[in-house]
Amino acid sequence: MENEVLSELWLEWITDNLLNGADEASLVGELERQGVAKELAREMLVAIQASPVYRAARKHSVKGRRLELLRRLLVAQRWFEQCPPEAERIKLGPEPLGLGNWLSTHTPVIFTDLVARWPGKDNFTPERLKERFGDVILDVAWGRQTEVNYDRKTAQLSRKMPLGKFVEALQSVESTNDFYAVAQNKNLSLPELHALFQDMWFPESWLDRADLGRGSALWLGPKGTITSLHHDTSNILFSQLYGRKQFLLVNPLELELAEGATAMYAALDPESPEGEGWLQGKLVKRVVLEPGETLLIPAGWWHHVRALEVSVSVAVNSLRLPNNFDWYRPGEVT
């Protein structure tokens, strides 16, 4: 039986298809197949397109469709960098280039000889940290395995304990994601640990050493710790100092990851069967970061991290280049 009035769902369906460039004749034909009178279908299409709300939405839709075409073009071009699908490893040489040379391509790279130049590179083992700073009170996320969204609940899970006791705890287990000293704990802001900055070295043109206390983070944990899939709003130099970590990096052009995201955290678990399936054919790089290597993670790149061994890492974002992209939060666009 032919409908005399179209439901709101049908009106939404028509509007959505019109905004996405659907042909009017095909829409009328589909409505007819669903039992809607041809004249009513045509009247509704005319009425919707005459609405000032629709005309305003149409402007944004056209812009969005053009941007989507640009995204598809960039995705197609970026496939050239997917062979091999791993971040390029680079030796800096005696006179390192400025970071802008790599950030201009917005592509993760690994510097293989940066940490080798640190004057105190051997001071970042768990044993050495315990020896030097064993009595320093850290904030540590504890009880992570009981929380689904443990990374987002770091503040609630954090407890204070001496660094030495924490090192003993992480060395006493084979593998766990239950406890971890993470960036959100802000332990490198502690004055008692600022001596570690003297053990680091970066090219003068790369970052402001005076800002290291604010722009650095210590990661310390056992084998098996996981940082769930997320992106940052700054470019980050992530130095792996002890143990190995496995990184999964997803290009921000894969906009689908923003769907269902909470702040900077994706809803997707890349280690689940569903996640592994979704990643097939996507712009993805997989990296095992070895001790002594530094990974440059451009702002916006999604990354999931698993510690393959007891691990010590330092992340730095106090770059001299503009490095505040806090406006980049696609997961919060509704």
3-state secondary structure of 251: coil
Task: Give pTM, 2 decimals.
Answer: 0.86
From residue 312, give the alpha-carbon distance in Å to each of 45, 191, 292, 293: 61, 19, 11, 12
Cβ atoms < 10 Å from Cβ of 78: 14
Give the integer Cα–Cα distance in Å for 318 and 215.
5
3-state secondary structure of 213: coil
3, 40 contact by CB (below 8 A): yes
DSSP 173: -
Query: From first to last of its 334 residues, what are the pLDDT tens digits of the chain?
Result: 344 678 889 999 999 999 988 999 999 999 999 999 999 999 999 999 999 999 999 999 888 888 888 888 887 777 766 555 678 899 998 888 899 989 998 989 999 999 999 999 999 999 999 999 999 999 999 999 999 899 999 999 999 999 999 999 999 999 999 999 999 999 999 999 999 999 999 999 999 888 888 899 999 999 999 999 999 999 999 999 999 999 999 999 999 999 999 989 999 999 999 999 999 989 999 999 999 999 999 999 999 999 999 999 999 999 999 999 999 999 998 7
Give the integer Cα–Cα distance in Å for 80 and 74.
10
For residue 182, list its beta bridge partners. Answer: none
112, 90 contact by CB (below 8 A): yes
DSSP codes of every residue in 266-314:
-S--TTSHHHHHHHTTSSEEEEEEPTTEEEEE-TT-EEEEEESSSEEEE
3-state secondary structure of 334: coil
What is the pLDDT at residue 177?
97
Within 13 A of 313's CA, how many CA atoms are on the CB side? 34
DSSP 87: P
